[in-house]
Chain A
Amino acid sequence: MSEFLRDAVDLQVQVDAIGLGAVFALMAVGIGLVFGVMRLVNFAYGQLIMAGAFALAYASDRDWPVGVGIALCFAVVLVLSLAMERVVFRPLRAQSAAVMLIATFAVAFLLQSIALLWFGPLGKTATSLVQLNRPVEIAGVDIRKITIVAIVTAAVCLLLLVALLNRTSIGLHMRAAAIDSQTARLLGVRANAVSMVSVLIAGALAAVVAVMLTVQYPTVTPTFALQETILVLAGVVVGGMTRLLSATLGGFLIGYVSGLLGGALPSSQSQYLPSFLFGLVILVLLVRPDGLFTRRRGLVERV
């Protein structure tokens, strides 16, 4: 146990855990933003990241410059996001949360199986950015460049998003729709525009995550980012889906804890890391079903 604690407070482990938490937080924002505006849990979010990663791999296969690869990644993810919103999310807007969740489940498997058909189970490799995996030494700790990039990028993205939500009229509309979409629509907020913008922002974040994840895991397979998405979904619910901030914190937390446990668990038990994480998720949900970072409300909805 003491060994576990010593490893857990180890600076190296801490830095890596925060880096992982930053990436997870970005995914949490993407999922939480769409949920806020549309009340839709997007299980297919991971497959957007996967598609972006394949775009990067495709570009790196052809030795295209890094910038072109990243542009292609953004283009693919944004087009897919818009298509998803138009074809699946919008017609289902009036349905229950359960129906929408299962529909995104179907979309997730659709995209995954298309990737399987196209690229095969072994996938492709995206190598154009791997030099970011090299460490730099800061204060005796080896920090991979990508960890720094991830933390800075996440912070910048979050600040931009906060500015957009608080300083622009579309941001105002999005916040209004998130609080009460019926009333917002009555007052002239255009539901389609709001949901399109939120899906686009979520898509842009997915593309950013795709770039950062391919640096760390250059082998892109059809199940790329699947495990991460499941964890982030759990984290978002654990944090509290009703507010973007609590969802983001939940995403960061599960990434951080995942990194911490991964670094501190003895190797004989590290294969059970998912069990520890999911066990924690269940525990937190039992104690705080509405979320860890939300204000406690009444247990039963009043009629």
Chain B
Amino acid sequence: MRARREALELLAPAALVVAAGLLGTVVSQATEIYFVTALISVATVVALYVFVGNAGVLSFGHISFFAVGVWAAGVLSIPEQEKPATMPYLFDFLSSTTVGNVPSLFIAAVVGGVFALLVGLPLMRLSGLAAGIATFAVLGITNNILRYYEKIGPGLNTFSSVPETTDLLQATVGAVLVIVAAFAYQRSRLGRQLRATREDPAAARAVGVSIYRQRLAAFALSGFLAGFAGGLYIHFIPINVDAVYLDLTFITLAMLVIGGATSLWGAVVGALFVSALDSVLAEMEDGMTLLGRTFDLPSGSRIVVVSAVMALVLILRPGGLTGGREFALPKLRAAVAK
């Protein structure tokens, strides 16, 4: 019974993601974009969840790891002959190296993970507000440097000529991989120790759990996965530095909190729910006919609705849509309760 319940905790979010991927194959080309975006969001939110959900500590800095993933994968996979045009000041070793799709995703993940580890070494000693502000400061520094340091990327310009290899299949596989990694981690010894520190720091310390080390491990893994998600993103759509700053930080946190920050199921549900809402609103901004009525919202109303929904969810259901619980069939939950 217990094994079945635990298997469901992995299978339910994975199945939801695969279902979204399959649904994406039967819709029009224009609509498919929304599905790919949603799947990449799942990868990003689950990456954030690995740290925030398990540690119970807020991080405003995770989009930095996403951003360095975008930079690593983007800079390395632009064809060599295209590089001088958009990135004339690049370091030699960057401008003379070009890698394929899969290696670039792996490098993006490693760069994200190493960056998170280096940042986490000092920062994981902090907690509460100090940790929140310090991770925010990391985001500010990362954004500032990526914006102006043109030896490592395009600076203020938009990435161009990155091979667009993230299609529906790659996004689905990527999202499932991130979910599997997050699940494996939270079931492991390390993950359970970290969750123990979340529930009761004093008791966890009393049984010999090092809060610092557990948080650091989760932070690094989380950065690794966020870097990977960034790699997926830049292989999907050309973006610039503004796309990986406050707005993305907000929407990613919103997805996690709306879904329910303390469970993998909540992270996936939140990402897909907000993406679906966002996509429908985006269509309405372009004028959409639904049930015989035409909706034509002014452009920019998406974020109004998404942030209002987020505030509402927080007020009405502070635990998020899933209440922060893992997926369980109603019958099974009742059986466990007995």
| Chain A interface (Cβ < 8 Å from any Cβ of B) | 41, 87-88, 91-92, 95, 97-99, 101-103, 105-107, 109-110, 113-114, 116-117, 226, 230, 233-234, 237-238, 241, 271-272, 274-275, 278-279, 281-282, 285-286, 289-290, 300-303
Contact = CB atoms under 8 A, between A and B. Distances in A.
22 contacts: A87-B315, A88-B311, A99-B314, A101-B132, A103-B310, A106-B250, A106-B307, A106-B314, A107-B307, A109-B306, A110-B308, A117-B301, A233-B133, A237-B129, A272-B145, A278-B140, A278-B144, A285-B133, A285-B137, A286-B123, A286-B126, A302-B202
Contacts of A110: 304, 307-308, 311
Contacts of A303: 202
Contacts of B126: 285-286, 289
B254 A97 contact: no
Interface of B: 58, 122-123, 125-130, 132-134, 136-138, 140-141, 144-145, 147-148, 201-202, 205, 246-247, 250, 253-254, 257, 298, 300-301, 303-304, 306-308, 310-311, 314-315, 318
Contact of A102 (B140, B147, B247, B253): B253
Contacts of B250: 105-106, 109
Contacts of A281: 133-134, 137
A interface secondary structure, majority:
helix
Contact of B140 (A98, A274, A302): A274
Contacts of A105: 250, 253-254
B141 A278 contact: yes
A289 B133 CA distance: 11
A40 to B, nearest CB: 11
Contact of B300 (A107, A113, A286): A113
A41 B137 contact: no
Q: Which 9 A-B pairs have the closest CB atoms?
A: A278-B137, A113-B303, A110-B307, A303-B202, A106-B310, A109-B307, A106-B311, A237-B133, A289-B130
B136 A234 contact: yes
Given A41-B129, A103-B314, A285-B134, A109 B303 contact: yes
Task: Determine which residue in B126, B127, B128 has the highest number of CB atoms from chain A within 10 A of its CB, and name it.
Answer: B128
Given A109-B303, A113-B307, 16 more contacts: A91-B315, A101-B58, A103-B311, A106-B254, A107-B311, A110-B307, A117-B301, A234-B137, A272-B145, A274-B140, A278-B138, A279-B137, A282-B138, A285-B130, A289-B127, A302-B202
A108 to B, nearest CB: 8
Contacts of A234: 133, 136-137
B285 to A, nearest CB: 11
Contacts of B301: 113, 117
A97 B307 contact: no
